[in-house]
A and B are shown apart, each in its own frame.
Chain A
Amino acid sequence: MGTEYVLEMEGIEKKFPGVKALDGAQLMLRKGTVHSLMGENGAGKSTLMKCLFGIYQEDAGSIKIEGTEIRFDNPKQALDHGVAMVHQELNQVLRRSVMENIWLGRFPKKMGFIDHEKMYEDTLEVFKDLNIEVDPKMLIGKLSVSQRQMVEIAKAVSYNAKILVLDEPTSSLTKQEVEHLFGIINRLRQRGVGMIYISHKMEEILQISDDVTVMRDGKWIATKQAKDLTTDEIIKLMVGRSLTNRFPPKTNEIGDVLLEVKGLTGKYMPTCMDVSFNLHKGEILGIAGLVGSKRTELLETLFGTAHKEKGEVILHGKPIKNRNAKEAIKNGFALLTEERRATGIIPLQSIIFNSVLANLSAYKKRGFLSDKKMEEDTTWVIDSMKVKTPSSKTHIKSLSGGNQQKVIIGRWLLTSPEVLLLDEPTRGIDVGAKYEIYQLIIDLANKGKGIVMVSSEMPELIGICDRILVMSNGKVAGILDMKKDYAGNAQEEIMRLAAKYI
């Protein structure tokens, strides 16, 4: 472990249309160390790494590898210069074999033609070294997500790079596999490899890192040695205000039971299995769980966009069927989807269009849609959701993520739902807008609605939910009542439950 820097990134700036993703970010990586990069969603961690790896080109700033200034125009250059990356979204060609995926871009050749035998042998060697038991000839799409993640890690390690970036490498791994990965990381550390580790999991960070850099809103906030840090300090640096100021005061009162879900099981595996819970009026029920715990599938099955195999849904004491979205809306349900860019907004249409979309039947006057009514409702959405926009005719694409989300929430509120299903409502939204959305959610609870909120952000769940249902591998692992004090360790309890059925 030396003090020379194998990587120096300084003053990095990167702009995308509408948002400045990196604003003076920096990272100094010492040789043979693990340097963790922390920050909330949207802080710019992945963006910074993608600038390093050549996927993006930075607008300003300098990158030096072993003292030499360098700039990669594409990933191939990065790989050739000793920088490898484990990507957050597993970039794999699912219909090809494991070994083809690993050696893509650097196939072993014999007399100009691909040497399949060598590819197989090489793959086995890499796997043996890392103790992975996967058949190299198998179609990678048929592996489980955790196996695919291990293959992705093996691929990056096999480049024998000087600098290895691991972006959320443990998001789908079991505890055993995480320990295994840490063994690999320790060995690489001894070999003098510099590693950058991005993760949301605090305990992992503190366990494996030497240094920690915190980013917020695209800016570098601080770099400290891991041994000098605690979880709380990291959170404070990440968030910029103490946890108590991040969330609006909870003023909602919990009323009678509004919705009963009994034994809900989706039809096409993998999906939720045998889920039961109650939702009260005025209650905010959080749904926590790891990636792959099928939380989105639960909401979709409740809402009717995924088929139900068995189970009962009872609203106001009467059993109901949400066989499709139309029925669900009529029954008073609303579903805010996880990926607003993919399944929420109609980007090239106006705010009016996006607002009234779910409620069109209300605007019919003698067979035609009433412009006046649609404008009125849109004005309501803009005012009550506090959407920042020059006009109602603006294309929704030009709004910031937070404002887009508010329009979609407004869209659903126009249908006067009683049960709101929210899937990651503050994902990809800056800290200020998050606060506004939390306020909106609490206001809705105040009005007696029942809210189910899926979220991957622990602080958020703990901050505004009344109860938290933890899902693990499709099943309910447990329900935490936030009024009870878990000795300040609600987060740990949630993590423990989330791993229960892995």
Chain B
Amino acid sequence: MDDEQKVKAEAEQEENQELPNTTLMSMKENVYDHLNVSLKTMNRVIALLVIAIIVFTTFGIWQAHIK
């Protein structure tokens, strides 16, 4: 009995630990449900956007100072 409980506790601990806080997955449908994008792609998109913002802003500031 004790062993079973231990295994159960371990399994639950593992489950609770490995589910990161930022991915609150809902079991029910939400607006984002039919999103078929992979996490990898999303990370790349975000990185790309950050770079684009930095580039454009830098360009804008530089352009303003040239004048």
| Contacts from A to B (Cβ < 8 Å) | 89-91, 94-95, 139, 141-142, 144, 174, 268-270, 473-474, 501-502
A89 to B12 alpha-carbon distance, docked (Å)? 21
B18, CB-defined interface residue at 8 Å = yes
Closest-by-CB residue of A relative to B8 is: A502
CA distance A86 to B36 in the complex (A): 32
Q: How far is the CB of A338 from chain B (nearest CB, A)?
A: 14
How many pairs, one residue from A and one from B, have CB atoms within 8 Å of each other in the complex?
35
Are B14's CB and A144's CB within 8 A? no
A residues within 8 A CB of B2? none
B residues contacting A by CB (< 8 A) are: 4, 7-8, 11-12, 14-16, 18-19, 24, 26-28
In Å, the complex CA distance between A269 and B12 comes to 11
Contact in complex: A501, B26 (CB < 8 Å) = no
Contacts of A269 on B, CB cut-off 8 Å? 14-15, 18-19
State whether A501 touches B24 (Cβ < 8 A): no
Q: A95-B26, A144-B12 are in contact. List 9 more A-B contacts (CB 8 A).
A: A94-B27, A139-B24, A141-B26, A144-B16, A268-B18, A269-B18, A474-B11, A501-B7, A501-B11
A94–B26 contact, CB under 8 A?
yes
Which secondary structure dominates where chain A touches chain B? loop
Q: Which B residues are in CB contact (< 8 Å) with A473?
A: 11
Nearest residue, chain B, Cβ from A475: B11
Can you give 25 A-B contacts (C-beta < 8 A)? A89-B27, A89-B28, A90-B27, A91-B28, A94-B26, A94-B27, A94-B28, A95-B24, A139-B24, A141-B24, A141-B26, A142-B16, A144-B12, A144-B15, A144-B16, A174-B8, A269-B18, A269-B19, A270-B14, A270-B15, A270-B19, A473-B11, A501-B7, A501-B8, A501-B11
Q: In the complex, A141→B27 CA distance in Å?
A: 9
What residue in chain B is nearest A91 (Cβ atoms)?
B28
The interface residues of chain A lying within 8 Å CB-to-CB of B12 are 144
Give the distance to chain A from B43, nearest Cβ to Cβ, in Å: 14
CA distance A476 to B48 in the complex (A): 42
A94 to B24, CA, bound (A): 8
